[in-house]
Amino acid sequence: MTMSRALDRAEPVLDAVSADVGAVMSPPNAAFFRQPLAPILTAVGVTILVVLAISFARTNGLVAALWGAGGLAMAVWLRGGRGLTYDLGFGVLVVTGVLAGEFLVGNGPALSIMFMAMNLLEIVLAVVLARRFLPGLSVNSVEGLARFLAICAVAPLPSAVLSALALDAMVGADMLDGFRIWWCGHALGFAVIGAFGLALQRRHLLIVRQPGRLVEGATLLGLIGSACYAIFSHLSLPYGFLLMPLLLMMAVRFRVSGIAAALVLVTVMAIGGTMAGHGPYHSFSAENRALLAQLLVLLGYMPILMVAALLEERDRLAERARAGRERAERASAAKSRLLANVAHEIKSPVGGIIGIGELWAGGQLGATSPDQVEMAQMLVKTARQVETLAHDLLDVARAESGAVKVELRPTDVAGLLEDVRRALILKPEAKGLSIEVLVEGDALIAQADSQRLAQVIGNLAGNAVKYGASGGRVLLKTAWADHRVRIEVIDFGPGLSLEKQAQLFEPFNRLGLERSAIEGHGIGLALAKRLTELQGGEIGVVSAPGEGATFWVELAAA
């Protein structure tokens, strides 16, 4: 009890010393002896895998073609915790497990200690590299899986070199064979079993609550196991082509965790059967059989992990996009409600101001001087601008919330343009401008809401008068365009750059003219775009600096 308390008091200091800057997994308690079951079971599993690997997958009597003990130890080590106390305790159990397995299969003390040291070296190296270079210890993304596979390839290299040198010195084993079999077998064990251990999450265990998915997964694993048996057992049937579509189906249906589980099964059966003298490589020597089986799994089947990671990453991106779209829709709805409330709150007091201003200007509130009349008229003019803004805000809010209803019916576009022209020439800013209507074609009847279409064209024409007045002319034109009715509002002013054209239909964007003498609030074009779309039409602009601007609307013909 005293030792345990002392360890607890010292643990923050030990954690600070051993913390790795790249690690992000940190369980609530990192002390090794608080949760001993998983590490102890891992040590037992390591012992069993060592015995199985040496008993059934040896090549030259010493090096195994598949070494799963390292992958198991690495995965549990990474997921179990961190901290100096934890790492030392786990390392001791890994050493115990490997040594127990080596002694059980009959290796002498020197070989057992050498193999134990090499195994511990590569496991520790894999853990350190994963903590440093594998963010979140996740293999469920393309980048994460690529980093993990690179770690699996690098971690066994020093042990492979040192073990090959040691075996050459101790028993005269071929160095090249020892190195390549060790590296391939241990890298494969890290990649297959480690990937499964890191990919498996608590949510995957919920499959037991979904009988359909559980049956589907079990069926796929059964088919994969059956295909492996047919290929790599004494049957040695030439059905290797069957595995690829089954593995792809597992990747598509169950993503990284599913294909990782399937690869564990395939790897064990492929290498085990090959080393027993079965399968497509049975005619080769033991060393060559081992190498060919390893390469088959590494190069033939392991890349499907990347396909699964790509699909899983696509799923996450789609989910983020869906969540982002929902947030944007909620924000847009809140903005629309705010605009509607503001517009309603503005309309009532502004109406009162307009009424008082008109009474004042008309002398109905008492005698007024010419200056007072002018001030009253300016008050009414400004209030009407605010009232127009309130109406536009309300229309924008209604349009974005879907509350604007349009009644599509045959609409005489030529007559509507003439009505817009007559209303436009009455505006003070249109004084001195030539405003014309040009009709090219007969029976230009559009399927539209006449009131909303007049609002759209009125907004476009009003902008043409305000921003293109320097051209001295505004043209309202309509013609046929591929069985649709096209309306153009053309000014001959300064024109627009491509950058400004891209921002035209954004609400409250006046393209830098906020401080100019031209009045406006920057929502007319956004409203025109929305109203056009509600009528099933399209809107756009064609312009270039110094060449004026042509705003166009296309609608279905009636």
Question: What DSSP string describes 450-493?
Answer: HHHHHHHHHHHHHHHHHHSGGGSEEEEEEEEETTEEEEEEEE-S
Q: Which helix (H) or strand (E) holds 188?
A: helix 175-199
CA-based torsion, 390, 394, 395, 396: positive or negative: positive
> What is the percent of the chain where pLDDT is above 90?
34
pLDDT digits (tens, 9 = 90+) for 485-534: 999 999 888 888 888 877 777 766 655 454 444 555 567 788 888 889 88
3-state class (DSSP) for residue 543: strand
Tokens 């005489």 correspond to 412
Burial class (CB in 10 A: 0-12, 13-18, 19+), 523: buried
For residue 230, what pLDDT is reported? Answer: 92
More confident call, 253 vs 519: 253
Instruction: Report whether 159 contacts 186 (CB < 8 A).
Output: yes
pLDDT beyond 50 at 279: yes
- Measured CA to CA, the distance from residue 488 to residue 460 in angstroms comes to 9
For residue 62, what pLDDT is reported? Answer: 67
- Measured CA to CA, the distance from residue 341 to residue 397 in angstroms comes to 9
For residue 519, what pLDDT is reported? Answer: 53
Q: What separation in angstroms does the CA of 244 have from each of 222, 250, 272, 462, 483?
A: 14, 10, 19, 65, 52
pLDDT digits (tens, 9 = 90+) for 204-224: 777 878 889 889 999 999 999
pLDDT beyond 60 at 12: no
Burial class (CB in 10 A: 0-12, 13-18, 19+), 447: middle
Q: Which of 63-72, 445-454, 506-515 has the lowest mean pLDDT?
A: 506-515
Q: Which of 124-133, 141-150, 189-198, 379-388 has the lowest mean pLDDT?
A: 379-388
pLDDT digits (tens, 9 = 90+) for 20-56: 333 334 443 444 445 567 778 888 999 998 888 888 7
Burial class (CB in 10 A: 0-12, 13-18, 19+), 558: middle
What pTM, to 2 d.p., does this model score?
A: 0.63
Q: Which helix (H) or strand (E) holds 93?
A: helix 84-104
- Measured CA to CA, the distance from residue 126 to residue 118 in angstroms comes to 12
Burial class (CB in 10 A: 0-12, 13-18, 19+), 483: exposed
Q: What separation in angstroms does the CA of 277 have from each of 179, 233, 243?
A: 22, 9, 20
For residue 537, what pLDDT is reported? Answer: 92
Instruction: Report whether 552 contacts 488 (CB < 8 A).
Output: yes
pLDDT beyond 60 at 381: yes
- Mean pLDDT over 359-384 rounds to 83
pLDDT digits (tens, 9 = 90+) for 312-334: 899 989 999 999 988 888 877 77
More confident call, 157 vs 428: 157
Residue 206 DSSP one-character state: G
Dihedral Cα 514, 519, 522, 524, nearest 10 deg: -170
Instruction: Report whether 489 contacts 450 (CB < 8 A).
Output: no
pLDDT digits (tens, 9 = 90+) for 73-109: 999 999 888 888 889 989 999 999 999 998 998 888 9
Instruction: Report whether 43 contacts 99 (CB < 8 A).
Output: no
3-state secondary structure 58-75: ECCCCCECCCCHHHHHHH
Q: Given phi > 0 = left and psi -120 to 50 = alpha, else beta, which region is 100? A: alpha
